[in-house]
With several copies, the nearest count.
Chain A
Amino acid sequence: MSVTKILIANRGEIAIRVIRTCREMGIPTVAVYSEADRGALHVRMADEAYCIGPAPARESYLVLEKILDVCRRSGADAVHPGYGFLSENAVAARAFEAAGITFIGPRPESIMSMGSKTAARVVAIAAGCPVVPGIQETMSDEDLLVASQKIGFPVMLKAAMGGGGKGMRLVHKPEEFTSALARARGEALSSFGDDSVYVEKAIVQPRHIEIQIFGDTHGNHVYLHERECSVQRRHQKVIEEAPSPHVTPEMRKAMGEAALKVAKAVDYVGAGTVEFLADAERNFYFLELNTRLQVEHPVTEWITGLDLVKWQILVARGERLPMTQEEIPLNGWAMECRIYAEDPDKNFMPSPGKITFLRTPSGRNVRDDSGVYEGAEVPMFYDPMISKLSTWGPTRMEAIERMRAALGEYQIGGIRHNITFHKALMEHEPFREGALHTGLLDKPFWKKRGQGPDLKFAVACALLHELETEQRRAAQPAGNDDGKPDAWKHWGRFNRI
């Protein structure tokens, strides 16, 4: 298939990530943007850019017809969907195929068969991949309770079409089952338009470990080892690492081979991730297959030295996978922190706004995948993730210390963010010991810091700032407060000519 000009149907850091690989490969890129994103970094960095509508995603980034239209106008012959938006939309994948445009992702059939969690369980069971004991069959609520008692409580209720923790509920006792099921169905219906809910046995203090897989159009499949993503808040990943401190070489091989059974069963093409839950005894259970590039793919790139977007493009061109299973490297350890525009001191409330200053960390084995710049607006319409900071070290502890130091260099102003929260996590003993599980952050280890010994330095600067503001006001009554010209204001002035 031809891939000579790539339209990136996404925004933010993942769009920049794809552009960087395209620049290395010498492939021109086409950005699309909503009206809220005219000044976004992906528009600045792409070779071409087209507006696709108003700020809300369902009126712009999610509108397939607009993306197809920009393909036609720009002559792009391939689309990279990133993650989110249209990335796991089988209808979109099919529409691109029909229009003669290469979709850089799996075949629509694979997306489809993995879209329903219950259907995916059936595929995994048939392929011989272990799944969490559970009930994926449709039955009445009463029968479901009986079946759940057979599995044994506690059980987990999950939305069949779900994701991101919505419609999920942990049920400890049979007495709670019926009302919990009703609420789970309600949430599933409002979030995914489908009230199907299934039951799984709840694993105690589970670890979330996933396998990166890759397939090509010639029937070859490999796994690029595991990532552990157990550090979560409200079922959202916060920190990811590779490899996992829990995984032994034997377990890695067993998990990798189990993941490939599922991949082969659906004749998987491109990048995918098989998610597992693992328990303390190193049993592991299939959860789902994510049919896209994951947010956390950089940790895999660190330990393998490979460029997963490049591999996606090579596979989309119909080339064979560049390596066999035995050739995939595994070097050292990598960590990733998701940097969010949110306020950990105020229950992680989102904090959109203008980034008034930005200093990103650098040095040995530090990688910052950012979607913003100093002066950029972080819009209220999209995901609060503004950057992914990742580090590598020969050992897990060196990767952690490097991350701690890099977080110390990272300075973002104008909006609230979770950098200090991540720094505290890097110093949190259970995290450092690798004793991870998905409930690690349920007990609040994080508390708002008091005023430390360096307060006087901060106050001295504020005093100088007050003095300068007074002097500036006296000198030039027309100046604005922070002394910096506001690009948008100037633009406004220009518009008013």
Chain B
Amino acid sequence: MKRNLLLGKESHEVELLHQDGVTTLVWEGESHSIDILELEPNCYSILLGGRSVEVRLDPAKAPDSDTHAYRALLYDGAYEFALVDPRRALLVGAAAAGAGGGILSSPMPGKVVKLLVQPGDSVQEGQTLLVMEAMKMQNELKTTTAGTVTIIHVQVGATVETGTPLITVVAPEP
């Protein structure tokens, strides 16, 4: 089982092997023999050279179905990363490159309480486009793309889920 490990913009090759009753993790070229056990759903216990580490794995939403994002809780703290099947990695890269501009989508379930732009408006990176309410808090959502607003996908008062597209911003031709 080979995967590309994505950490921000870095990518590393990692592998889990199981032969003759021994499980091996190949990590940055080095092989480690590990004892790994799923004790509860998505909760693992690992022993590696005496060290005992417990990992709670929380599969997270990913930008596309081929990239699997994970959040892992350890006693030590939380880690975030993604795994891609190397056979799919090229496709993923191509898809990401194809997307000019961006869609601002909802980072949480909530209610749209204010729209601050209209189609045709020019916007700067970091500009607030919309205000959402969830859990008695108002949250300003900002664009990470500078460009022109082309589509407003929602109306004020709408209740949206995590990942619902809200506003499309098209970056100017480079």
Contact = CB atoms under 8 A, between A and B. Distances in A.
Report if A and B touch in the complex (beta carbons < 8 A). Answer: yes
A414 B7 CA distance: 21
Interface in A80-133: none
Interface string A348-366: 0111110011000000000
Contact of B78 (A357, A384, A408, A420): A420
Interface stretch (A134-142, A146-154, A313-321, A451-459): A451-459
A482 B48 contact: no
Interface residues of A, number: 67
Given A452-B76, A467-B16, A458 B81 contact: yes
Interface string B66-77: 001010111111
B59 interface: yes
B146 interface: no
A478 interface: no
Interface string B101-144: 00000011111000000000000000000000011110100000
Interface stretch (B30-38, B91-99, B147-155): B30-38
Interface string B41-77: 1111111101111111111000000001010111111
Given A357-B43, A462-B81, A47 B52 contact: yes
Interface in A472-497: 481-485, 487, 490-491, 494-495, 497
A413 interface: yes
Interface stretch (A37-45, A237-245, A275-283, A296-304): A37-45
Contacts of A356: 42, 58
Query: Which of A342, A349, A382 has the largest count of B CB atoms less than 10 A from its CB?
Result: A349
B108 A463 contact: no
B137 to A, nearest CB: 5
A213 B83 CA distance: 55
A144 B68 CA distance: 59
A361 to B, nearest CB: 12
A315 B59 CA distance: 46
- Enumerate the 3 nearest inter-chain pairs by beta-carbon distance, A residue then B residue, closest first: A458-B72, A350-B135, A463-B16
Contact of A353 (B34, B73, B109): B109
Contacts of A414: 58
Chain B interface extent, by class: 35 or more
A451 B80 CA distance: 8
A283 B103 CA distance: 54
B53 to A, nearest CB: 4
21 contacts: A31-B52, A38-B37, A48-B51, A351-B108, A352-B135, A380-B111, A452-B77, A456-B25, A456-B32, A457-B74, A460-B34, A460-B36, A460-B44, A461-B36, A461-B55, A463-B15, A463-B16, A465-B57, A466-B3, A484-B41, A497-B18
Contacts of A21: none
B61 to A, nearest CB: 11
Interface in A378-401: 380-384
Interface of B: 1, 3, 5, 7, 14-16, 18, 21, 25, 27, 32, 34-48, 50-59, 68, 70, 72-79, 81, 83, 107-111, 134-137, 139, 162
Contacts of B52: 31, 43-44, 46-49
Contact of B56 (A413, A423, A494): A413
Interface string A418-456: 001001000000000000000000000000010110111
Contacts of A47: 51-52
A44 B39 contact: yes
Given A455-B81, A458-B55, A350 B70 contact: no
Nearest to A84: B136
A373 interface: yes
A457 B48 contact: yes
Contacts of B37: 38-39, 487, 491
A2 interface: no
Given A43-B45, A44-B52, A455-B79, A482 B59 contact: yes
Contacts of B16: 460, 463-464, 467
B43 A451 contact: no
Nearest to B40: A375
Interface of A: 31, 38-39, 43-50, 73-74, 341-342, 346, 349-353, 356-357, 373-376, 380-384, 408, 411, 413-414, 420, 423, 449, 451-452, 454-468, 481-485, 487, 490-491, 494-495, 497
A247 to B, nearest CB: 32
Query: Which of B3, B18, B42 has the largest count of A CB atoms less than 10 A from its CB?
Result: B42
Nearest to B55: A461
A462 B70 contact: yes
A43 B16 CA distance: 23
A307 B16 CA distance: 43
Contact of A382 (B25, B59, B135): B135
B79 A451 contact: yes
Contact of B50 (A49, A420, A452, A465): A49
A454 B58 contact: no
Contact of A487 (B14, B39, B56): B39
B107 to A, nearest CB: 6
Contacts of A420: 77-78
A468 B1 CA distance: 11
Contact of B46 (A45, A351, A457, A494): A457
A457 B56 CA distance: 11
B25 A460 contact: yes
B139 A39 contact: no
A364 B49 CA distance: 31
Contacts of A350: 108, 110, 134-135, 137, 139
Nearest to B159: A380
Contact of B1 (A341, A346, A467): A467
Contacts of B110: 350, 352, 380
A74 B139 CA distance: 40
